[in-house]
Amino acid sequence: MADRPTIIYLWGFMGSGKSFLGKQLASALHIPFVDLDEYIENHHKKTIAEIFDEVGEQAFRKWETDALHECSKVLLSYTEKGRAGLNYAGVVSCGGGTPCFHDNIHFMKAQGRTVWLNPPLDVLVLRLQKERAHRPLIADITPDTLTEFISERLNQRSPYYRQADLIISPAEHVDEILNGL
Ligand code: S3P
């Protein structure tokens, strides 16, 4: 483990279970959990869908980077002040695109440990089919082209995701738990 407090950043495509597993991980380690999308929504008082709609993806990516820096700073300062000696400062569940824009990947790798949650493609498709409406990037994709869209996007993003310190491919039984069984 690192000498100074470090942050665990969870990466992965939409629907890979980052928030669910992040909460479990943070609770097991007794450290704070931050969902980056929620952080952005609270800060700007808008949903992610509204942000994409009103200011567009480019502005969203800038706000996402700002949020990443801000929440990392808060987690580290809190740990240094109140809980010195603790190795992990917090768990941050990133948005699916966070490691792929600006210099976020290098920032995260310098601040902490990075984990890519990489479930099989069909698991992502199953989950995202149910949630298209809330996700601006796939809201307009028709069900019959969803698999192709996810597969292409995943291929584009894999070179970034692959740089994670740890890669986990959640097994099917984990998926059942994630779906609330
Ligand atoms: C995005 C993923 C979303 C959210 C935004 C963009 C992406 O986060 O940040 O809609 O580019 O993959 P989740 O992966 O948490 O759904």
CA 94 to ligand 1: nearest atom: 15
Architecture of domain 6-120+161-180 in this structure: 3-Layer(aba) Sandwich (3.40)
Q: Supply the residue whose CA is at minimum distance from atom 4 of ligand 1.
A: 95
pLDDT tens for each residue of 24-48? 888 888 889 999 999 999 999 999 9
The yes-or-no verdict on residue 52 having pLDDT over 90 is: yes
The pLDDT of residue 80: 67
C-alpha span between 156 and 153 (Å, rounded): 5
**Burial of 96 per CB tally in 10 Å (0-12, 13-18, 19+):** buried
Considering only 54-58, 103-107, 130-134, 156-160, which range has the smallest mean pLDDT?
A: 130-134
Nearest to 65 by CA among 26, 32, 39: 39
**Residue whose CA is at the smallest distance from ligand 1 atom 12:** 96
CA of 85 to the centre of ligand 1 (A): 33
- Pocket of ligand 1 contains residue 37 by CB under 6 Å: yes
pLDDT digits (tens, 9 = 90+) for 71-125: 999 999 877 666 556 688 999 999 999 999 999 999 999 999 999 999 999 989 9
Average pLDDT over the chain, rounded to an integer = 88
Instruction: List Cβ neighbours of 75 (8 Å cut-off, separation of 6 or more).
Output: 7, 32, 34, 89, 90, 92
Q: How far is the CA of 95 from the centre of ligand 1 (A)?
A: 4
Three-state DSSP at 94 gives coil
What residue owns the CA closest to ligand 1's atom 3?
A: 95
Stated as kind and residue range, the H or E segment containing 175 is helix 172-178
Residue 177 has pLDDT above 50, yes or no: no
Report how far residue 49's alpha carbon sits from residue 51's, in angstroms, rounded to the nearest whole number.
5
Going from the Cα of 149 to the center of ligand 1, the distance in angstroms, rounded, reads: 14
pLDDT at 83: 59
pLDDT at 4: 75
What average pLDDT score do residues 2-31 get? 88
